[in-house]
Amino acid sequence: MKKLLILDRDGVINQPPVVPHRYILTIQDLILNRHIVEIIIKAQSDNWLVCCVTNQQAIGKNILTYQGISAIHNYVNENIVESGGRPLHFFVCPHLQSDLCFCRKPKPGLIFQALEAYGLNKEMDKVIFVGDQETDKLSAEFAGVMYHPFSNSLNYSDIIRKHS
């Protein structure tokens, strides 16, 4: 059995933008959430695959480029690697909410992309999605995977204990 821990980005891996309804556009805008790197490393050391799924309509609005989002994700991964972990793969929906695509949460497309990329079967493998928004919870529900709400006091054992 394979195990996959899926993390939302804004609000889980990093703190949400300081101004509501704004975007993380540079690494200067990004503040990693407390304990998230530790959670990622502990999961990886317990043989969990760990990835991120994230809606980023700033790309669709042309206020963030793919190069810009890659720089942000590389910065996150540098922090993880410097602390002893392995880099994450980021599954990104660049579409506007009005595009009605299948990958934008709350639709399950990004989760399905992750399952396919890692060769997982949600019926046979263990998949947990950690999110902070109702759209995250709905996406997990629509994809048929377990959901765990994020809080600033969350630690790795909380996630595993609840879903073992």
Q: What is the CATH number of the domain that holds 108?
A: 3.40.50.1000
Q: What does pTM read for this prediction?
A: 0.96
Mean pLDDT of 67-77: 98
Mean pLDDT of the chain: 95
Rg (CA), the chain: 15
pLDDT tier for residue 74 given thresholds of 50, 70 and 90: very high
Question: What span, in angstroms and rounded, lies between the C-alpha atoms of 88 and 76?
Answer: 8
User: What digits encode the pLDDT tens for the residues 106-132?
Assistant: 999 999 999 999 999 999 999 999 999
Give the alpha-carbon dihedral of 150, 154, 158, 160, to 10 degrees.
60
- Reply yes or no on whether the pLDDT at 48 is more than 80: yes
Provide the pLDDT for residue 160.
84
What whole-number distance in Å separates Cα of residue 118 and Cα of residue 135?
23
Q: Is residue 107 classed as helix, strand or coil in its secondary structure?
A: coil
Query: Which residues carry out catalysis?
Result: 8, 10
102 has pLDDT over 90: yes
- Please report, rounded to a whole number, the percentage of residues in the chain having pLDDT higher than 70: 99
Helix (H) or strand (E) holding 70: helix 66-82
pLDDT given for residue 106 in this prediction: 98
Domain extent at residue 73: 3-162
Task: Give pLDDT, residue 163.
Answer: 83
The total number of structural domains that make up the chain: 1
Of the pLDDT bands very low, low, confident and very high (cuts 50, 70, 90), residue 21 is low
Over residues 5-26, mean pLDDT? 91
pLDDT of residue 18: 80
> In the predicted model, is pLDDT for residue 20 greater than 70?
no
